Amino acid sequence: MITRRSFLKSTAAAGTAASVPYFTSTQSAFANDSANDRPQVGCIGLGGMGLGDMKEHQRFGDVVALCDVDTSRIARAKSRNDEKGDGYTDYRKIIDRDDIDVISCVTTDHWHTKICIEALEAGKHVFCQKPLTLTLEENQLIRAAVEKHPDQVFFIGTQQRSDQRRFLRAVNMVQKGLLGDIKKITIGIDGGDVGGPFPVEQPPAELDWETWLGQAPKVDYRAKRCHYQFRWWYEYSGGKFTDWGAHHIDIALWALNRNGEGSGPVSIDGSDAKHPVPYKDGYPTVDDCYNTAHDFSIDCKFEDGIEMIVSSRVDNGLLFEGSKGRIFVNRGKITGVPIDENWDEGQYGVEEKSALFKGKPAESHKDNFYRCLREGGLPVSDVYTHLKTMNACHLCSIAARLGREIRWDPQAEKILDDEQAASFFAREQRAGYEIHRV
């Protein structure tokens, strides 16, 4: 019998072939396999989302290693893993283990790219929560790493791509032209939190604040900078642009078929954006308050004239407006006359769903990830299209920070004719935490 590890390597080697036939079985890949045949998983990042993903990985593999820079989170994760799994505060000790097949990376955003590239270099399959990157440069760095390691499955946690009742139905309807020519998409992603000033405190004894900061500038600990609240600081995240934008902009670009090579908006207008603190030259002038945009309407235009509005002032979700009709979709509903009258009747079945899943059965997010480990092929949430989404998310953030329109060349992936805006393409990385370049 072949070993689990050799099986995973041999099947994933077919991963770049989109035509890899899929198994018609509906049984979850690996879920009922013996312990010797189940992948071994290392979970890095054990906050609320990290624990949720760990629970789902337990269906398919054995979680044998747990890592977080907060030791209280390691203890909590072990209690939910039958007290199994070696605990680490240094993620490199998990990546260095030869017995681990899968890395689940659910850290703060500013750590994703570094950890994922090193995991790929170590021969691991990778599941990473969205948003994958912190900057436009990181998009290119992670793409180069994935291209260098085509044998590994790389999966992004954009779970809306597996929602067959709502988001996939909307994507299918738009792609089939049932709404006519799409003229405008309005994307509601809510506004970021407003808060501060927050006091300087001593980091909790269980938290390694130095490592938590990673590539970001070294600053004093404030409780509201850390854990869940990290997303309201541009030093570690893109605020709502990358938080909800990574989900909803992804669905918009997917529906429009604007997430392939050379695709993306050409104009991003951030002149209608407000931040909770004063800004100068795109940077906050105070360091003790949340600083991501909290009130905005970003106008993105594509070369063919399609308009994509990214706003905090409308209901969370996506409104597709076409020449024949319009629909609204979010995580709770899909509505509109085309839905009420079933315009997609007979055009949204097994075949259509399988096409959206790149030739595999339509199923849950983790089912698809582990099926790809077993069978090869690109997952429904692949890294290449996600990086096009992240380009758009980061451009919205840059335009909002500068408060003006910027222009983008989606083929060259370059900000045009604006030296100041172009300076946001990459960020300085603190010594000792630089991202590995393959």
CATH assignment of the domain containing 328: 3.30.360.10
pLDDT tens digit string along 248-268?
A: 999 999 999 999 999 999 999
pLDDT value, residue 343: 98
Whether residue 135 is contained in a domain is answered as yes
The candidate with the shortest Cα–Cα distance to 160, out of 412, 334, 295, is 334
**Domain co-membership, 36 together with 133:** yes
**Domain co-membership, 129 together with 241:** no
**Domain co-membership, 334 together with 308:** yes
Whether residue 177 is contained in a domain is answered as yes
pLDDT tens digit string along 384-433?
A: 999 999 999 999 999 999 999 999 999 999 999 999 999 999 999 999 99
The candidate with the shortest Cα–Cα distance to 227, out of 213, 238, 240, 241, is 213
**Domain co-membership, 311 together with 371:** no
**Domain co-membership, 186 together with 334:** yes
Task: State the total domains in the chain.
Answer: 2
Whether residue 333 is contained in a domain is answered as yes
Give this prediction's pTM. Answer: 0.94
Whether residue 118 is contained in a domain is answered as yes
**Domain co-membership, 217 together with 303:** yes
pLDDT tens digit string along 120-162?
A: 999 999 999 999 999 999 999 999 999 999 999 999 999 999 9
pLDDT value, residue 37: 81
pLDDT tens digit string along 272-290?
A: 999 999 999 999 999 999 9
Bridge partners, residue 355, by sequence: none
C-alpha gyration radius of the chain: 21
**Domain co-membership, 331 together with 397:** yes
**Domain co-membership, 95 together with 194:** no
Residue 28 has pLDDT above 70, yes or no: no
Tell me how far apart the alpha carbons of residues 366 and 379 are, in angstroms, rounded to a whole number: 10
Whether residue 368 is contained in a domain is answered as yes
**Domain co-membership, 125 together with 267:** no
Residue 11 has pLDDT above 90, yes or no: no
**Domain co-membership, 179 together with 207:** yes
Residue 362 has pLDDT above 70, yes or no: yes
The candidate with the shortest Cα–Cα distance to 288, out of 197, 195, 221, is 197
Whether residue 436 is contained in a domain is answered as no
**Domain co-membership, 71 together with 122:** yes
Residue 24 has pLDDT above 60, yes or no: no
**Domain co-membership, 298 together with 181:** yes
User: 3-37 in b/e burial notation, b at 16+ Cβ within 10 A?
Assistant: ebeebbbebbebbeeeebebeeeeebbbeebeeee
pLDDT value, residue 5: 53
Three-class SS of residue 295?
strand
Helix-, strand-, coil-residue percentages of the chain, each rounded to 5: 35, 15, 50
Residue 19 has pLDDT above 80, yes or no: no
Range of the domain at 94: 4-159+361-379
Tell me what the mean pLDDT of segment 153-178 comes to. 98
The identity of residue 214, as a single letter, is G
Whether residue 434 is contained in a domain is answered as no
Q: How far is CA 302 from CA 66, 248, 253, 276, 323, in A?
A: 43, 17, 11, 30, 17
pLDDT tens digit string along 332-347?
A: 999 999 999 999 999 9
